[in-house]
């Protein structure tokens, strides 16, 4: 290029606004790394499983899961032994509408219970050989002491969301911050964790999760609204009315995951969506727990549909809308045990099945290896 053609002298620097536009966000960089499962490894896994010394596909869904693990990890010996359930906590302004039987004070109290090892998720994670990693995404309490002691991760976006019955839960910027906080955690853990599990804690969070599900599944509020922590009929009806009001006030865009999150979501839901996106970008399986975690998965799926290739739905909860959320994701849950606790308990239980699927793929002999006669044609 001649001097006459040079637009600016060599020392020219673009203005800050132009520079900001040229720098990709963490979310954008992450989305560029998410690809479908590897077809070659899926085919290789299926070919081996077809030849195992047992009636064809006699281990059913475990064998389907084994194929998925090979495709996700690009390996015939998927690494699944290093496991962590990431429990994200946040409070919700909509609790002011009387949608929960418990007060918001329970959220930080439960965070301390997680840290002390006394919660349901602690017991089931220990049984599964998994770590429990607790993240403050937006608890309405000062938890800096726990973070300073290294007992939780501090990613606090705010002191709880705003009340979705009267306006948006958070700003669009905060929504992206929440998602990117989850991505950060996935990236930080990816070097030492093989399998992620999602967990949640946040009083009132079935209400925003239901609102998300209504927007992203197209089902009605009545079809999707469940009893949460144990609402009676009158309380359930009131909760549905609050969700209808929140959707009318905020009018979230079903085609835009960040818009849905910002208008009717939660900080911990955004963090979990980011964790799922980050796991997919690192080609790690992610076990999605119950109703709230699946709402986060729907947000992640709306942002990047290929993320579905790394999602394993751990279980179907008692929340009546959960089945429609699984249908939207196109994923069949591994377990159905009438659970409704959250915290990542279903994800921890299903980690045992992930290890079992890996064992089927890698340890069961083929007919040829075992010198066993195959079935008659």
- Residues classed as catalytic: 343
| Residue among 215, 244, 310, 304 at smallest CA distance from 97 | 244
CA distance 329 to 301: 8
| Residue among 201, 228, 205 at smallest CA distance from 115 | 201
- The DSSP output letter for 173 is H
Contact (CB, 8 A) for 286 and 312: yes
Instruction: Using the CB atoms, write b or e for 56-75: b if 16+ within 10 Å.
Output: eeebeebbebbbbbbbbbeb
Name residues whose C-beta falls within 8 Å of residue 80's C-beta, 6 or more positions apart in sequence.
Answer: 69, 194, 195, 285, 354, 355, 358
Residue 49 CA, chain-centre distance (Å), reads: 29
Q: Beta strands of the chain (E only): which ranges?
A: 83-90, 130-138, 153-154, 195-201, 286-288, 311-313
CA distance 199 to 137: 12
CA distance 355 to 282: 19
Contact (CB, 8 A) for 70 and 44: yes
């Amino acid at each position: 290029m001649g001097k006459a053609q040079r637009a600016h002298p060599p020392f020219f620097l673009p203005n800050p606004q132009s520079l900001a536009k040229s720098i990709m966000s963490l979310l954008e960089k992450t989305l560029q790394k998410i690809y479908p499962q590897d077809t070659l490894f899926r085919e290789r896994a299926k070919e081996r499983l077809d030849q195992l010394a047992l009636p064809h596909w006699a281990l059913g869904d475990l064998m389907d899961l084994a194929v998925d693990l090979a495709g996700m990890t690009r390996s015939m010996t998927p690494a699944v032994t290093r496991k962590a359930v990431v429990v994200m906590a946040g409070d919700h302004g909509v609790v002011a509408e009387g949608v929960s039987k418990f007060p918001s004070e329970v959220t930080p109290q439960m965070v301390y219970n997680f840290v002390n090892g006394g919660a349901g998720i602690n017991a089931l994670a220990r049984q599964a050989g998994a770590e429990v990693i607790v993240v403050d995404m937006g608890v309405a309490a000062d938890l800096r002491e726990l973070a300073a002691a290294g007992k939780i991760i501090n990613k606090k976006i705010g002191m709880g969301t705003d009340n979705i019955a009267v306006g948006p839960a958070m700003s669009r910027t905060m929504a992206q911050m929440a998602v990117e906080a989850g991505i950060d955690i996935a990236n930080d853990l990816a070097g030492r964790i093989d399998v992620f599990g999602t967990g949640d804690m946040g009083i009132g969070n079935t209400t925003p999760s239901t609102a998300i599900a209504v927007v992203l599944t197209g089902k009605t509020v009545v079809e999707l609204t469940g009893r949460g922590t144990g609402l009676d009929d009158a309380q359930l009806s009131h909760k549905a009315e609050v969700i209808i009001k929140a959707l009318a006030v905020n009018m979230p865009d079903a085609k835009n995951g960040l818009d849905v999150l910002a208008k009717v979501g939660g900080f911990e839901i955004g963090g979990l969506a980011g964790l799922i996106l980050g796991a997919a970008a690192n080609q790690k399986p992610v076990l999605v727990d119950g109703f709230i975690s699946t709402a986060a998965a729907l947000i992640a799926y709306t942002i990047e549909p290929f993320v579905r290739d790394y999602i394993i739905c751990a279980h179907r909860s008692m929340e009546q809308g959960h089945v429609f959320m699984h249908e939207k994701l196109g994923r069949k849950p591994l377990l159905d045990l009438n659970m409704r606790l959250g915290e990542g308990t279903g994800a921890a239980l299903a980690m045992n099945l992930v290890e079992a699927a890996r064992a089927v793929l890698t340890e069961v002999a083929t007919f040829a290896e075992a010198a066993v006669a195959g079935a008659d044609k």
